[in-house]
Amino acid sequence: SPPKKKAARPKDGEKRLRVFRKRAPQAYAEIRHRALTQRMIIIDRERASPPADLEPDSPDNHPTETVSLAGTTGNIYHITISRLPSCDCPYAKKGHQCKHIIYVLHRVLRVREDLEYQLAFLSSELRDIFSQAPPLPCKVAEKNNTDGEMNGNRKPLEGEDCPICMEEFETDGKGKAKSREDVVYCKAACGNNVHKECFKQWARAKKGQGRVTCPFCRSPWEDDEGEGSMDLKGLAKAGKVNEEGYVNVARQLGLSGQRDYSTYNEFWVRNR
């Protein structure tokens, strides 16, 4: 049998705020499945660095990130990844590790598997997580404006077809489009590419239905020119608070607004 994982023991004696999990519990697989198969949309992200005057071995010497996310019901939840990850959704408020936290760890920060199911992190683990995590989209956009490099979440062009015309993208041999202006991509979520002219046709058709989405993942489209873009932050601020106390944007984002309990633990459903 494979050797058991041991809890990290930092030299400075920092204590983990929840018990170290040597392996993923059985219930985790169900929650992870929901996190990776149900539709959720990132509304906003903020990453904070530790104060510059902190001692290197201070338990507070680590970055944190807060993500505003529209869940499957359209409710906007706030997830913070710090020493003790938190979410303000009903499931997490009962002390459980929720799908929203797992979504952020897996999809957004891309943490390694043995950390993904932990309930708490050491400051050294957080420093490692954020050093390896993809940069914030706004930071990548700033970099793109200065050096023309591709976005960190953009998928390779070579060997791929446009989903509208089904023709292969022409590349320059270095994996980039021969004319960068001729190809756009989903910045909001999946990173897939589309011919710019093809997307304009798609956007005109979708605008007649009230919203423009990515042809691949159906997330609201975001771009630099306003072509079919949606101000997600503004949408969240203008959204109405529902009876649960959350801003809900299900109608605006084309979400069902219904909570799917089919894969939830029966005990939690009875006592929610």
Whether pTM > 0.85 for this model: the answer is no
Q: Where are the domains of the chain?
A: 1-133+232-272, 137-230
Identify the helix (H) or strand (E) that includes residue 33.
Answer: helix 26-37
3-state SS assignment for residue 168 = strand
Write down the pLDDT at residue 103: 93
- Contacts of residue 50, defined as CB under 8 A and 6 or more positions apart, other chains included, come to 58, 60, 61, 62, 63
Write down the pLDDT at residue 218: 73
Q: Which two tokens stand for residue 250?
A: 């299900």
Alpha carbon distance 86, 120 (integer Å):
10
Query: Taking the alpha carbons of 157, 159, 164, 165 in that order, is the dihedral positive or negative?
Result: positive
Write down the pLDDT at residue 268: 46
Over residues 154-203, the pLDDT tens digits come to 788 887 888 877 778 888 776 677 665 588 888 877 788 888 888 887 77
Over residues 203-259, the pLDDT tens digits come to 776 665 567 888 887 777 876 555 455 567 777 877 889 999 999 988 877 777 777
Over residues 65-93, the pLDDT tens digits come to 999 999 989 999 999 999 999 999 999 99
> Domain 137-230 falls in which CATH fold?
Herpes Virus-1 (3.30.40)
